[in-house]
Amino acid sequence: MGELIRAVDLGVILGGQKVLEGITFSVKAGELTGIIGPNGAGKTTLLRAILGLLRICEGELNVLGVPDTSLMDVRPKIGYMPQRQSFERRFPLSAADVVAVGLLSPATVLRKITDKDRRIRAALKSVGMESYAGRPFKELSGGEQQRILLARSLVRQPELLLLDEPNAGLDFPAQQSFLQLLHKLKHEKGLAIVLVSHDLVSIASSADQLVCINRSMHIHGSPAEVLQSSYLHEAYRCQFDYLSVGDKRGVDCE
């Protein structure tokens, strides 16, 4: 399996300040990679850099075979689900309408999208929501809305899927159902999935690898390696629970 993402000593500057530095990791097809770290660690910034929305100031970034200077060329192959938004709920959109938004781009604004209905149906079916196509989006439950938004990010049939806190605000059953869906998509479609999460317990049981950052790189490896590492303490400097070899423990970080 080739690398779909390769970052080596990646750095990003925002507002004249370096907000990321020394970030090194890789992602292969069929892998679910969890990005973890405290609030303000730069997790969303990292996703935006992978999307080509932010320029890197140092290091190397290669996504889907192209360098950071050419990332806009591969954007149609990248699905992106940003942090949960509320703007969709204020408009009288159906579930299918929300998914259709994922087909829009500067290249499609002035021309007809071929096979639009088929693509929307396929995306809804892939997340188990085909029968909800005509339902008002605002009337769906939180978990159902997240599945529709996931379908929106899948409607172009991407090779790489970037998800920013998709489980935020969902109850535990909905979170588990969403993670199970991601595993299904990973195996059936061979997707590479990069998932930002604050929930260490859930992500540890779901991810193939974890990348822990707090402005800089702290540790990258299997969930067991990361959650047992002293570098995790340095990244969080707080109290949290985590899973380690089937054992749940409380950890105090100074």
Q: Is residue 124 part of a domain?
A: no
How far is residue 130 from each of residues 35, 133, 175, 214, measured CA to CA in Å? 30, 6, 20, 39
Q: What is the CATH number of the domain that holds 74?
A: 3.40.50.300
Indicate the pTM of the whole model.
0.88
Query: How many percent of the chain have pLDDT more than 70?
Result: 86
State the total domains in the chain: 1
Structure token pair of residue 219: 């540790």
Q: Is residue 55 part of a domain?
A: yes
Closest among 76, 87, 16, 7 to 47, alpha carbons compared: 7
Q: Is residue 231 part of a domain?
A: yes
List all residues 6 or more positions away from 170 whose beta carbon is below 8 Å from its beta carbon: 142, 143, 146, 178
* Partners of residue 3 on adjacent β-strands: 28
Q: Is residue 104 part of a domain?
A: no
* Partners of residue 179 on adjacent β-strands: none
Q: Is residue 213 part of a domain?
A: yes
**Spacing of C-alpha 23 from chain mean position:** 17
**Spacing of C-alpha 136 from chain mean position:** 25
- Please write the tens of the pLDDT for every residue from 182-237: 999 999 989 999 999 988 888 888 999 999 999 999 999 999 999 899 888 888 87
Q: Which domain holds residue 67?
A: 3-91+158-252
Q: Is residue 220 part of a domain?
A: yes
Q: Is the dihedral of CA 160, 120, 130, 137 positive or negative?
A: positive
- Please write the tens of the pLDDT for every residue from 157-184: 999 999 999 988 888 899 999 999 999 9
Per DSSP, the three-state class of 20 is strand
